[in-house]
Structure 1
Amino acid sequence: MTAAAFEAERARLIRLAYRMTGTMAEAEDLVQETYLRWHGTSAAEIRSPAAWLTTTLTRLAIDHLRARKNERARYVGPWLPEPILDEPGDRVGDEGRAAARIELADDLSLAFLMVMDNLPPAERAAFLLHDAFGHDHDSVATILGKSPAAVRQLVSRGRARLKAARPDIHVPKAARDAIANRFIDALINADGAALAGIMHQDAILLTDGGGKRSAALNPIYGADKILRFFAGIARKIKVEVRFERTLLNGAPGLVAIAEGEIWFALVPDVQEGSVGRIMMVRNPDKLSVLTAAFAPGPLTRGPESDRR
């Protein structure tokens, strides 16, 4: 099969793979494996390139997620999806990039990807293919090798889990973003009183260092403990830190740069009118996209507080 036919589908495939796995490295590996299988298949065996590629990638992703279960059990600390700036595969120019980032769908948000990560692989695939990528039940059934009735059940369960985890998903995005931006303002200004007023008293902080950067090994529960955590970080900082406000996965986020490296990427998740969860990514394996955008120089050392 021709490379040109595959390239015409590449952007769509990587979008699906990223939503399935939550990281760009895994998504790109799955797309590459799909290409190798495409390249080794006779044209006579493929009636619809798009359908064949979607089916192949989806089944590879399901197998990968099942195999990843044991690896995830050994992951050091909380696992978070990799934050990104743009829709995977997008090729918009600089003039259109800002608008494109604002319009990213809710199914790309870190909060949404966290819900997807808790779904069984087949349920995740069925929900994404149907609700995010617009396939009907019959085509999803063909892709997954299941009956349409079974697919309807998988999609329904996925919707129920999303609704339970994200009860305010239908609150206007502008309202959620305004609260998130107030939280980011308060964090940059080290305004503890403002942070306390924006966070839910039962808020959760998740920090993902992956065993490669210092991070809390367990979730931090409660606004008071989270405030103490941030205050402790502020006291330890011995180098200049530059903060960059940006949109991460379509939501307000904050990137901290110190000594030429991304120190962390943070996204506040607004739930029921306040910040109910804060996601902080420190694992350098998940910061390569942001490093290219905000700290493109050679990597040296982490902040001094990181080396203690």
Structure 2
Amino acid sequence: MSDHATDPATETFVAHRNLLFTVAYEMLGSAADAEDVLQETWLRWVKVDLEEVRDERSYLVRITTRQALNRLRTLKRRKESYVGSWLPEPLLTTPDVAADAELAESVSMALMLVLETLAPTERAVFVLREVFDVGYDEIAEAVGKSPAAVRQIAHRARKHVDARRPRAAVPASQTRAALEACRRALETGAPQGLLDVLAPDVVFVGDGGGVKHAALRPVVGAERITRFLAGGLGRVGRVVTGEPTLVNGNPALVVRLDGELDGVLALRVEDGRVTGLYYVRNPEKLTRVQTETPLTLR
């Protein structure tokens, strides 16, 4: 694209790139696949007669949605053979993402996992309607359904998500306090105040992708998880550190073993207690925690 820096098609694409990436990422939960979708979108966009396009932003979102839907169906088959639990790819995000409550909630690990339970078309409709406030007619063009069908899908998807998403947004200070308890348990090997911040039925999900060791199934229960974290993720004579940061617009920990990146720990907090811990160790999913990724709803 650098060879066509003054080309109107390039300028328009670059102007909306962060939005298109956010759309694709929220649909796929994978930055690598989102980047592939953007490349496919670009290849189709440069063949479009711009004089025939009334709304360039909407047109680009429509192309991105169609390509993401195709990729989402492929991902669904890939996840069926994935080793252990699958978690979204964490993104190191800028402070402005955290400051936008709507955006931060939409890309939070907790909500992204809820979106994983939707069928591909349901997820596309939900993301476009509930997150990006796209009109039903535009969504219908993007997903190849009638506006009436899209309304029904949107209602069904919203009901499904509302039943599973965190009941209310919590102050970032609560999440940071819970993360501090997790950090102390990891670094000292002692549970200290960790049990005080975990809900009795808290769930720990680890994603090693078959490359790094991780529990193949979720670990349930405050005491079991406390013992796991206090043991330093199975460390033997290794130094564990947790660095507070912003991942997917929310407070999280970047965990290192002997100074080397090991994974990212994110939380789901409800009513002041941690109800979900998500630890991504798969190295293929940790490429976006060194450099900030810009996200936007506009």
| TM-score bin (small chain) | 0.7 to 0.9
Task: Report the AA paired with residue 249 of structure 2.
Answer: G
Relative CO higher for 1 or 2, CA cutoff 8 Å, sep ≥ 6?
2
% identical equivalent positions: 37
TM-score of the aligned structures, taking structure 1 as reference length: 0.84
Match of 1:151 in 2: 150
- SS in structure 1 of the partner of residue 232 of structure 2: helix
Match of 1:67 in 2: 74
Cα distance in structure 2, aligned partners of 1:57 and 1:113? 19
Q: How does 1:63-212 map to 2 (within 5 A)?
A: 63-86=70-93, 97-103=94-100, 104-168=103-167, 170-174=168-172, 176-177=174-175, 180-187=178-185, 188-212=187-211
Cα distance in structure 1, aligned partners of 2:66 and 2:127? 13
Note if contact 1:179-1:273 (Cα within 8 Å) is conserved in structure 2.
no
- SS in structure 1 of the partner of residue 242 of structure 2: strand
Tell me the number of residue pairs that the alignment of Structure 1 and Structure 2 aligns: 282
Note if contact 1:180-1:252 (Cα within 8 Å) is conserved in structure 2.
no
Shift of 1:233: 3.1
Shift of 1:49: 2.2
Shift of 1:123: 0.8
- Aligned in 2, Cα 1:171/1:28: closer, same or farther, shift over 3 Å? closer
Note if contact 1:180-1:269 (Cα within 8 Å) is conserved in structure 2.
no
Match of 2:53 in 1: 46
Question: CA offsets, 1:132-158, max 9 Å, x none?
Answer: 111122221222222222112221122
Note if contact 1:14-1:27 (Cα within 8 Å) is conserved in structure 2.
yes
- SS in structure 2 of the partner of residue 288 of structure 1: coil
Cα distance in structure 1, aligned partners of 2:17 and 2:128? 16
Question: CA offsets, 1:139-198, max 9 Å, x none?
Answer: 212222222221122211222122211251x34434653553454354345442411121
Question: CA offsets, 1:175-227, max 9 Å, x none?
Answer: 65355345435434544241112111111110000011111111111112212
- Aligned pair 1:2/2:13, yes or no? no
Task: Report the AA paired with residue 270 of structure 2.
Answer: Q
- Aligned in 2, Cα 1:167/1:267: closer, same or farther, shift over 3 Å? closer
- SS in structure 1 of the partner of residue 163 of structure 2: helix
TM-score of the aligned structures, taking structure 2 as reference length: 0.86
Shift of 1:228: 2.3
Task: Report the AA paired with residue 11 of structure 2.
Answer: A
Note if contact 2:179-2:253 (Cα within 8 Å) is conserved in structure 1.
no
Note if contact 1:262-1:291 (Cα within 8 Å) is conserved in structure 2.
no
Cα distance in structure 2, aligned partners of 1:59 and 1:48? 17
Q: 5+ unaligned residues in a row in structure 1: which ranges? A: 87-96, 294-308
- Aligned pair 1:14/2:21, yes or no? yes
Cα distance in structure 2, aligned partners of 1:43 and 1:98? 35
Cα distance in structure 1, aligned partners of 2:271 and 2:25? 27
Task: Report the AA paired with residue 156 of structure 2.
Answer: R
- Aligned in 2, Cα 1:176/1:143: closer, same or farther, shift over 3 Å? farther
Backbone CA RMSD of aligned residues: 2.2
- SS in structure 1 of the partner of residue 201 of structure 2: strand
Q: How does 1:217-228 map to 2 (within 5 A)?
A: 217-228=216-227
- SS in structure 2 of the partner of residue 165 of structure 1: coil
Shift of 1:253: 0.8
Cα distance in structure 1, aligned partners of 2:104 and 2:230? 34
Cα distance in structure 2, aligned partners of 1:49 and 1:113? 28
Which of 182-191 and 125-134 deviates more? Answer: 182-191
Cα distance in structure 1, aligned partners of 2:50 and 2:128? 25
